[in-house]
Amino acid sequence: MPPRVNTEKCDGCRAQDETLCVLICPGDLMALDTGSGKAYCRSERDCWDCMSCVKSCPHGAIETRLPYQLGYYPAKLIPLVGSNKISWTVVDIHGKVERFTFKTRNDD
């Protein structure tokens, strides 16, 4: 189940041949549905939950969900990606919110 594409927000990177998630996925698991012009995961079972697609999506249209047999609903982990910082917001199944913001790059 891992990558969940929000088809409302996904614009298939303007339906170019290779969206950013398709471009980046280490497992070649993301693909572009040429019909709808939206991205989707071709084989959720093979996802490693590395969240590269989540970080790469310019619209924050992708969310990683753990397989239910490993973790319960509705936990969320959502990044906000800056040029040299990233902020992760994690919401656990009891609704507890934690936020982590840190540098990802030294600005030289």
Partner 1 sequence: MKVTLLEKAHIDRSGCLAGGMDAINTYIKPNESAESLVRWSRAQAGGILREDLTLSMAALLNQAVEEWETWGLPVKKDEDEEYLARGRWDITIRGSEMKVILAEKVREYGCEVLNRVVATNYLLGGDRVTGAMGFGVRDGKFYVVRAGATIIATGGAAGLYKPYTNDGVDSHHQLWYSPFNVGTGYAVGIRAGAEMTSFEMRWCAVRTKDFNGPIDTISVGYKTPMINAKGEKILSEHYAHLGGDAAPRYIRANAPMEEWLAGRGPVYVDTRHMKPEQVKDLKTDYLNERPSFVLFLAARGQDVTEEPIEVYGSDPYIVGGHTMSGYWVDRSRATTLPGLFACGDVCGGVPNKFVGGCAAEGLLAARGAVSYLSSPEERDQVDDGQIKAEVERVFAALLRQAREGDGVTPREMEERMQRLMDEYAGGVHQFYRMNRERLEYAQKHLSILKEQTKYLIARDLHELMEAHEVIDRLDVAEVLVHHLLFRQETRWPGWQNRVDFPGVDEKLDCFVNSRRDTGTGEVQVFTRPYEQIVPGDRTKP
Partner 2 sequence: MPAGIGVYLCRCDGRINEVIDLEGLRSKIGKWKGVSEVRVLTALCRPGDLASVVEDIQAGRVDRLVIGACSPAVHQESFERLAAEDLAPNLLERCNLREQCALAHPGDPAGATTQALALLKMGVARLKAAPGPVIPETTTGNRRVLVVGGGIAGLAAAGNLARGGVEVTVVEKRAWLGGRVAQLHRYYPRGCAPRCGLAVQTERLLQSGRVSVHTLAEVAGVHGTAGNFQVNIRQHPRFIGQECTGCGRCEAVCPVVTDTSRGLPAWRKAVLSPAGSVYPLAYAIDRQACLGPACGKCAAVCPAGAVCMEEDEQSFSVNVSAIVMATGSALYDVAAVENYGYGRLPGVLTSMDLEFLASPDGPTGGRLMRPADERPARRVAFIQCAGSRDCKHLPYCSAICCAVTLKQTRYVRDAYPDAEVTVFYMDMRVTGHLEEMYRQAMDEGTVFIRGNPLAVVRAADTGDLEVVAADSLSGRRVLVGADLVVLAAGLVPEHIADSYHLAKDGAGFVPGHLPCSPTEGRRAGIFAAGTAQGPMDASGAVQSGLAASAECLALLDQGPALVLPLLDKTKCDGCKRCVEECPYGAITLDRDGYPLPSATGCRSCGICQGGCPLRCIHLPGFSTREMAARLAAPAVGGEEVRVIAFLCGNDAYRALDGTVYPVNVLPVAVSCAGAVNMGWINDALLNGWDGVIVAGCRADECHYGHGPDLADSRVAKLQETLRSVMVEAERVQVLTCGIGEGGSLAAALENFVRRLTEMGPSPFKEC
Active site residues: 48
Candidates 10, 32, 51, 57; binder of partner 1 (CB under 8 A) is: 51
Rounded to a whole number of angstroms, the minimum distance from the CB of residue 92 to partner 2 is: 12
Candidates 16, 36, 58, 71; binder of partner 1 (CB under 8 A) is: 71
Q: How far is CA 26 from CA 4, 34, 38, 46, in A?
A: 17, 21, 19, 11
Contact track, partner 2, 46-85, x by CB under 8 A: ----------x-xxxx-x------------x-x-xxxxxx
Residue 30 in contact with partner 2, rule: CB under 8 A: no
